[in-house]
């Protein structure tokens, strides 16, 4: 376009930057609190509000206090949250993932009762519930795909029965969207949408989350199921597959080091697209800001804006409450 358009001195791009009003008039990307999804960690115990050391400003909440951050979020204009559970007990098959009085199930009931207007999304995976910390059932030192699908479907169904309104599988097993869709449809929950972590990379940026959720693998790593950070085109195959299996919404994760993937997926998928601004991305901003090396507000908002500019409709982010506050303050 610029090759055939006007040139300096006729063209002066600074004309459209000369005042706040004109900058706002021509601004291409706007952030809104409604586009942020707040991640929340729920843990056993009572009266717990425990700050996560590697994620300053983020807390692990007990069920009896989980409504506090949810109510604050709603007040600031957020419309949705995603729940992660740390169970009482862990075993090889992640038994606590689909019990009726599990940690996420109990939190869902409290939220439905006390803050009904905030949308309840749940992360569906087994790594928080297994004693080995992997996202599925183990056979011969590796995650066994197809038997894991059965457990994931049971977990999803259990969440929905307890009040989950959107199911977000994060395990990266092949076929999980179809397995969950079928389990929900067969039990009368055809109207519950699936937000698939479709292109989820095997990333070092999940470190602080694994401290918070106590979910680091006890042996090996997640390279046999999460994606290789070297692969961009493969993300489109993952996305195509999940859409074919019935995913309603698609997610790319992490966000900042994968904005090329966000952009590519945006070009091929017209439905709702999310990106997860993950724990390590948050921790880096907080750590540098604490040292006075960067301006937290400026950098966090610039990061969120870049994710939206790349093409994400919504962003899962630990900055959600602060960002909503900053948007309010103007």
Residue 211 CA from chain centroid, whole number:
16
How far does Cα 141 stand from its chain's mean position? 28
Q: How near is the Cβ of 195 to ligand PBG at its closest, in Å?
A: 12
Sign of the CA dihedral with 290 first, then 296, 299, and 304 last: positive
Residues 66-125 that bind ligand PBG (CB under 6 A): 123, 125
90 in catalytic set: no
Nearer to ligand PBG, 11 or 287 (CB): 287
Note the Cα 204 to chain centre separation in Å. Answer: 16
| Least spacing, CB of residue 133 vs Zn ion, in Å | 8
79 is catalytic: no
Count of other CB atoms within 10 angstroms of residue 48: 16
Q: Spell out, one character per residue from 171 to 210, where the chain touches ligand PBG: x when CB under 6 A holds, - when not.
A: -----------------------------------x--xx
Residue range at the interface with Zn ion (CB under 5 A); choices 123-131, 136-144, 266-274, 322-330: 123-131
Give yes or no for residue 279 binding ligand PBG (CB under 6 A): yes
298 token code pair:
């400026």
Name which position in 127, 160, 194, 247 contacts ligand PBG (CB under 6 A).
127
Instruction: Examine residue 170 and tell whether it contacts ligand PBG (CB under 6 A).
Output: yes
Whole-angstrom distance, CA of residue 40 vs CA of residue 318: 9
Residue closest to ligand PBG when measured from CB atoms: 209
Q: Verify binding: residue 135, Zn ion, rule CB under 5 A.
A: yes
Residue 41's binding partner among Zn ion, ligand PBG, none (Cβ under 5 to 8 angstroms by kind) is none
Q: What are phi and psi of 113, to 5 degrees?
A: -80, -45
Cα–Cα distance, 255 to 266 (Å, whole number): 13
Q: Which of 79, 90, 200, 328 is catalytic?
A: 200
What is the Rg, in whole angstroms, of the alpha carbon atoms belonging to the chain? Answer: 20
Residues 209-268 that bind ligand PBG (CB under 6 A): 209-210
Our CB check for Zn ion shows the closer of 125 and 239 to be 125
Q: Does 310 bind ligand PBG (CB under 6 A)?
A: no
Least CB distance to ligand PBG at residue 50 (A) = 17
Cα distance between residue 133 and residue 285, in whole Å: 27
Match 């080091």 to its residue by tokens. 257
251 lines the binding site for Zn ion (CB under 5 A): no
Q: Which residues of 149-260 form beta strands (DSSP E)?
A: 166-169, 195-200, 249-253
User: For residues 143 and 31, what is the distance between their CA atoms, to the nearest angstrom?
Assistant: 39
Q: Which residues contact 222 (CB under 8 A, 6 or more apart)?
A: 134, 135, 172, 202
Whole-angstrom distance, CA of residue 203 vs CA of residue 88: 27
State which residue, 206 or 326, has the beta carbon closest to ligand PBG: 206
Q: Closest distance between ligand PBG and the C-beta of residue 171, in Å?
A: 6
CB of 206 to ligand PBG, least distance (A): 4
Q: What is the set of active-site residues? A: 200, 253
Write out the residues near ligand PBG by the rule CB under 6 A: 123, 125, 127, 135, 170, 206, 209-210, 278-279
């Amino acid at each position: 376009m610029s090759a055939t358009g006007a040139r300096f001195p006729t063209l002066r791009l600074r004309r459209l930057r000369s005042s706040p009003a004109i900058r706002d008039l021509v601004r291409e990307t706007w952030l809104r609190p409604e586009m942020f999804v707040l991640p929340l960690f729920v843990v056993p115990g009572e009266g717990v509000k425990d700050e996560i050391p590697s994620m300053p400003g983020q807390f692990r909440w007990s069920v009896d206090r989980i409504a506090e951050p949810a109510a604050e979020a709603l007040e600031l204009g957020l419309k949705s949250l995603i729940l992660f559970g740390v169970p009482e007990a862990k075993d090889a098959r992640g038994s606590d993932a689909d019990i009726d009085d599990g940690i996420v199930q109990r939190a869902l009931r409290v939220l439905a009762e006390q803050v009904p207007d905030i949308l309840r999304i749940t992360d569906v995976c087994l790594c928080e519930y297994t004693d080995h910390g992997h996202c599925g059932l183990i056979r011969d030192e590796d995650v066994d795909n197809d038997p894991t699908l059965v457990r994931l479907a049971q977990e999803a169904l259990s969440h929905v029965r307890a009040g989950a309104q959107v199911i977000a599988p994060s395990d990266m097993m092949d076929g999980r969207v179809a397995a969950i869709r079928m389990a929900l449809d067969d039990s009368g929950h055809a109207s519950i949408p699936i937000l698939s972590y479709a292109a989820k990379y095997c990333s070092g940026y999940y470190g602080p989350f694994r401290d918070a959720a106590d979910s680091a693998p006890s042996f090996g790593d997640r390279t046999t199921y999460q994606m290789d950070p070297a692969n961009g085109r493969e993300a489109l195959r993952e996305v195509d597959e999940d859409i074919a299996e019935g995913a309603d919404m698609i997610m790319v994760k992490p966000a900042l080091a994968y904005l090329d993937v966000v952009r590519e997926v945006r070009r091929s998928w017209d439905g709702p697209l999310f990106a997860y601004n993950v724990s390590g991305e948050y921790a880096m901003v907080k750590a540098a800001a604490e040292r006075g090396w960067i301006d937290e507000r400026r950098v966090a908002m610039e990061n969120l804006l870049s994710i939206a500019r790349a093409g994400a409709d919504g962003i899962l982010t630990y900055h959600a409450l602060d960002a909503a506050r900053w948007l309010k303050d103007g």
